[in-house]
Structure 1
Amino acid sequence: MRDHSSISLSLITNKLTYALVAIAALGAMSSAQAKVLFTDTSISALYGTDYELVPQETLTTVTLEHASTHTWGGVFFFVDRHQGKENAAGKEFKETYGELAPKLKLAKFDNSFIKQVNLAGQYEFGSNSNGFSQDNYLVGVGADLNVPIPGMKYASASLYHAFNDKDNADDQQITLTYGWEKNNFVIDGYVDYAFNSEDDSVKDNIHINPQLKYNLQEVLGIDNRLEVGMEYSYWKNKFGSDKTQNAASALVKFHF
């Protein structure tokens, strides 16, 4: 007998894939007609230690990142290239991981703590030299927030259902993002809380990942932002395991 629940899940996953592609395509097609409200692209280099589940717990990372907002919604994208040290077998650890997160504006509010409500999607992809790979699709709702703190540039909250690939059980995720800047000091980052996994052996986990930076553009008299600082990664029950990560990385970030 065929497993109809598996068939239904497959159909849902396929529909979700089409929905995410449609959202991204809408952004591309609308760019000619819709106004770009904000856009930023950057490349970063990081070096840090104490990364759990990584050979010798050391990583060098190069990150390409893009964020833009439009009258129809917005797009956030990044891809990380991680390179670690050799494991006991003499094999160097390498990993590529990225996320594409489009949002489509559903409603906008004036003079409110909630500025905008969005249909939110996210595609997570990655693979590493240990043979692990992933392709996960998240869909949900989100809100852009008006946080009354001087220097606050943006804040958002989103709730997703994660349709994870065949090797990982589905779960839910809450994501918070924020950005603050004053007198060339910058604090930005995100919080991911993954919970309610369909696999009871996978623990709820929270990842808090702020960056603390100083913008040297004014000091150096250059046309583009150049930020230096650090990134801190606190990840309790990393990937749903018993491991908790406390890792700090030196950071250089150039915007273009």
Structure 2
Amino acid sequence: MPRRSRLIRCTAVLAVLAAGAVGTTHAADWSDTSLSYRYGTKFAEPFNENDITKNIVNFSHASGYKYGKNFFSVDLLMSSNLDPSSAGSNSGAHEAYAVYRHTLDFGKIAGKSYAFGPVRGVGATAGFDYNSKTDAGYNSKKRMVVAGPTLMLDVPGFLDVSLLAIWESNAPYSTFTNQATPRYSYKTHAMLTGAWAIPFDFGLPLSFEGYANFITAKGKNEFGGGTAPETNIDMQIMYDMSGAVGAGKNTFKVGVEYQYWKNKFGNPDRNNNGATARTPMVRAEYHF
């Protein structure tokens, strides 16, 4: 099956999963579903020295129920031709990247408070990452499962911090050599991760949102090379413009976003300019 067709099939499967996530909201205490668009001209990819332009369309769904909460997100990333779809191609790469997390709140399960100090709740998180990309060199097919404890901090909005074990594998395909690499599992490694959305008012209804991942090295890669610890911080300031257009609160948001990603996907940035990204973006969201 052609690689582009596989990507379309993958995106369709992820869309079905997303629809399933939305379909469970009848049992939810709260839910938030959104479509968003972001754009930047300074994206980076390992072993590619170019600044890459990307258009990214996202579907996200978050909901809370009696014992915890769910989060599902899928990006469709469309690169400029400086990140080509295949060797010698003038078209850009396409990628689908999905994330799912489920957090159990131990206090809600036990019917009592586990709050202490700045912590308002204790729980456990599990989930997965899944991607499929059509590009000239690597054609990632990442599969990743995560699990570990979570602290929910006492802030306006939310700030969750988790320490997760990661089980990750990949099975890339090179269009330069026409060679597939059998699925390879990295060493089990750890991630300290935080996700937040904190509202504030500076004369305008604003929020500070994002995530930060600090990931340890994952041993040897599938080609026998060493990997490096990753730092991936993605943060945005969003303006709720809903009132200005007569819509309900938090329906329409616009803002600016910045991502710093060092040693992207565990690739050391020594003599590898594309392994560290410093990417400003603009972002728009519609919540329903």
Q: TM-score, normalised by structure 1?
A: 0.80
Matches within 5 A, 1:1-256: 32=27, 36=29, 38-53=30-45, 56-86=51-81, 87=84, 88-107=88-107, 108-110=113-115, 112-130=117-135, 131-147=139-155, 152-165=156-169, 166-169=183-186, 170-183=188-201, 184-199=205-220, 201-223=226-248, 225-241=251-267, 242=269, 243-256=275-288
- Between the aligned residues of both structures, percent identity stands at 23
* TM superposition outliers: structure 1 runs of 4+ over 6 Å: none
Query: Per-residue displacement from partner, 1:53-98 (whole Å, max 9, x unpaired)?
Result: 1775110000001111222011011000000112353232100001
Against the structure 1 CA distance between its residues 112 and 99, is the aligned structure 2 distance closer, same or farther, given a 3 Å change threshold?
A: same
Contact 2:115–2:122 (Cα < 8 Å) also in 1? no
Give the count of matched residue pairs. Answer: 224
Partner Cα distance (2:90, 2:208) in 1: 38
Against the structure 1 CA distance between its residues 128 and 251, is the aligned structure 2 distance closer, same or farther, given a 3 Å change threshold?
A: same
Query: Per-residue displacement from partner, 1:204-235 (whole Å, max 9, x unpaired)?
Result: 01111001111101111113611111111101
In terms of fraction of residues, the more strand-rich structure is 1
Partner Cα distance (2:263, 2:52) in 1: 16
Contact 1:56–1:85 (Cα < 8 Å) also in 2? no
Aligned residue for 2:239, secondary structure, equals strand
Larger relative CO (CA 8 A, sep 6+): 1 or 2? 2
Give the counterpart letter for 1:140 in structure 2.
G
Partner Cα distance (1:114, 1:97) in 2: 31
Partner Cα distance (2:212, 2:97) in 1: 17
Partner Cα distance (1:196, 1:94) in 2: 27
Partner Cα distance (1:97, 1:154) in 2: 24
Aligned residue for 2:184, secondary structure, equals coil
